Structure 1
Amino acid sequence: MLQLNVKNETSRLRAVVLGTAENNGPTPKLEEAYDPKSLEHIKAGTYPLEEDMVREMEAFNAVFQKYDVQVYRPKLIENYNQIFARDIAFVIDDIFIKANILPDREKELDAIDHVIGQIDSSKVIRPPEEVHIEGGDVMLWNDHIFIGTYKGSDYKDFITARTNMHGVNFIKELFPNKIVKEFDLVKSKIEPRDNALHLDCCFQPVGTNKGIIYKSGFREEADYTYLVRLFGKENLFHIEREEMYHMFSNVFSITPDVVVSERNFTRLNNWLRSNGFTVEEIPYAEIAKQEGLLRCSTLPLIRD
């Protein structure tokens, strides 16, 4: 049996589901795009090729092997995008929560049933139908749970709005002893530079007391200020609009002092190193074209 344990984003990782780019299928049609960044690259003819994405994911896998992390991969679905394991489920403490994702992505959950089958079934939860919540919006920080949402009255018009207030309240009820704080995120269907698809597109903790943040990703300045007060301004690396677009905040921590990052994130990687982190740089720029990066590709199961 898998003894799940995830309480934050940075403790020593022991087991993880890593998505796969194999058998990814053809470039989607314009009307099939789930997010404005994919749309941009489909239009421009620069949508990533399967072989390049497979190579990037194997570079990520190699880092996990280097640090003795147990890696699970989804079963392959023919002609299907299975890169973003973070969307389909997430773990809080020892509870495995299946996301109510876009309906045509249900198959992705079936593709990891060989993993779910190793978990005590009383610890596997499927929220009720009205609850929308995806793992990219759920950020654990010990006794805090940060959740990205969208409070606009036009929520249902945004395919980029992935977590609703029902989702926030569901987590509050499930974890009454945690401080659950929601953040209202900026959404756009057409401009990827103004679309925080998930909370991890504009904020992520690193180490024990630091974080990466994009101020303009929050609809309310008070939400941004909340994090500045909690972490301390001097502990936050502020990214700019173009850096948010390239997903600088979507790195992934293997331990409190080891961060996997994209090799082109020079300004961030230098800051991390100057703060004592080991930075494992890998190529991930092709996968980034689908508005997802390193954190999005992982579903952590066990951290120390």
Structure 2
Amino acid sequence: MLKLHITNETSRLRAVILGLANSNGPTPTLEEAYDPKSAEYIKAGTYPLEKDMVKEMTAVRDVLEKYEVKVYRPEQIEDYNQIFTRDIGFVIDDIFFKANILPDREREIDAIQYVIDQIDSKKVHRFPEDHHIEGGDVMPIGDYIFVGTYRESDYSNYITARTNMKAVNALQEMFPNKTVKSFNLRKSSTDPRLNALHLDCCFQPVGKNKAIIHKNGFLNEDEYEWLVNFYGKENVFEIDSDQMYAMNSNIFSIAEDVVISEKNFTKLNAWLRAQGITVEEVPYAEISKQEGLLRCSTLPLIRD
């Protein structure tokens, strides 16, 4: 049996599901794009090629294995994008949540069912269908669970609005001893620089008490201020809209003192090293064209 354990974002990682870029399928049409950044690259004719994405994911797998992390991969579905495992599930404490994702991505959950089958069935949970939630919006932080959401009345107009307040409230009911804190995110179906697809597109904790934050990803300035105060201004690395667009807040922690980051994030990587964090650099610029990076393509199962 797999004994799950995730209480934060940065403790030493022991087991993870890493996405898969093999048999990724043809370049999607504009109508098939789930987010404005992918649409931009489809239009420009520079949508990432499968061989390049496989190479990038292999580099990540190699780093994880170097740190003796147990790496699971989804079963391969022919001609299908299976890179972003974070969307399809997440773990809080010892419970695995199957995400309620866009309906045509349901097959991605089936492809990791062999892993879910190794978990005590009483520890596998799914919210009712109208409770929308994806793993990119959910971050356990000790006694808190941070959740990205969209609270505006035009929620249903945005394919980029992925987690609703029904799911946020249900999480609070399930974890009465934790504080579930929701953050209202800025959404755009047309401008990727104004679209925080998930919470991890504009915020991520790193190290012991540090964080990467993009102010404009938050619709309510007081929620952004709350986060900055939570970590302390001196512990926060602020990113601008170009850095957010490049996905600087979507790196991935193997431990409090080790992260995997994109090799082109020179400013961020220098800051991380100045905080005493080892930065394992990988090429991931092709995958980032789909508005997802390292946190998006990993689903942690066990941390110390």
> Smaller-chain TM-score range?
over 0.9
User: 1:91 and 1:165 mapped to 2: Cα distance?
Assistant: 19
1:236-255 superposed matches below 5 A: 236-255=236-255
2:92 paired residue number: 92
- TM-score, structure 2 normalization: 1.00
User: 1:248 and 1:26 mapped to 2: Cα distance?
Assistant: 27
Report the Cα offset of residue 277 of structure 1.
Answer: 0.4
Report the Cα offset of residue 279 of structure 1.
Answer: 0.2
Report the residue type matching 1:272 in the other structure: L
1:47-86 superposed matches below 5 A: 47-86=47-86
Which structure 1 segments of 5+ residues have no match? Answer: none
- TM-score, structure 1 normalization: 1.00
Report the Cα offset of residue 228 of structure 1.
Answer: 1.1
- Correspondence 1:120 to 2:95: no
2:155 paired residue number: 155
CA offset digits 1:211-253 (Å, max 9, x no partner): 0000010000011011111100000000011000000000000
SS class of match (1:254): strand
- Correspondence 1:28 to 2:43: no
1:199 paired residue number: 199
User: 1:228 and 1:193 mapped to 2: Cα distance?
Assistant: 21
CA offset digits 1:108-151 (Å, max 9, x no partner): 00000110000000000011111000000001111111000001
1:1-304 superposed matches below 5 A: 1-304=1-304
User: 1:229 and 1:91 mapped to 2: Cα distance?
Assistant: 26
SS class of match (1:296): coil
SS class of match (1:295): coil
- The alignment of Structure 1 onto Structure 2 pairs a total of residues equal to 304
Report the Cα offset of residue 4 of structure 1.
Answer: 0.1
CA offset digits 1:17-74 (Å, max 9, x no partner): 0000000000000000000000000000000000000000000000001000000000
User: 1:152 and 1:50 mapped to 2: Cα distance?
Assistant: 37
User: 1:273 and 1:42 mapped to 2: Cα distance?
Assistant: 35
SS class of match (1:75): coil
User: 1:43 and 1:114 mapped to 2: Cα distance?
Assistant: 37
Report the residue type matching 2:37 in the other structure: K
Report the residue type matching 1:258 in the other structure: V
Report the Cα offset of residue 13 of structure 1.
Answer: 0.2
CA offset digits 1:162-186 (Å, max 9, x no partner): 0000010011011110011000000
SS class of match (1:51): helix
User: 2:84 and 2:249 mapped to 1: Cα distance?
Assistant: 16
User: 2:129 and 2:22 mapped to 1: Cα distance?
Assistant: 30
User: 1:262 and 1:243 mapped to 2: Cα distance?
Assistant: 12
SS class of match (2:259): strand
User: 2:289 and 2:207 mapped to 1: Cα distance?
Assistant: 27
Q: What percentage of residue pairs aligned between the two structures are identical?
A: 69
User: 1:277 and 1:65 mapped to 2: Cα distance?
Assistant: 19
Which structure 2 segments of 5+ residues have no match? Answer: none
CA offset digits 1:184-231 (Å, max 9, x no partner): 000000000000000000000001100000001000001101111110
RMSD: 0.4
Report the residue type matching 2:271 in the other structure: W
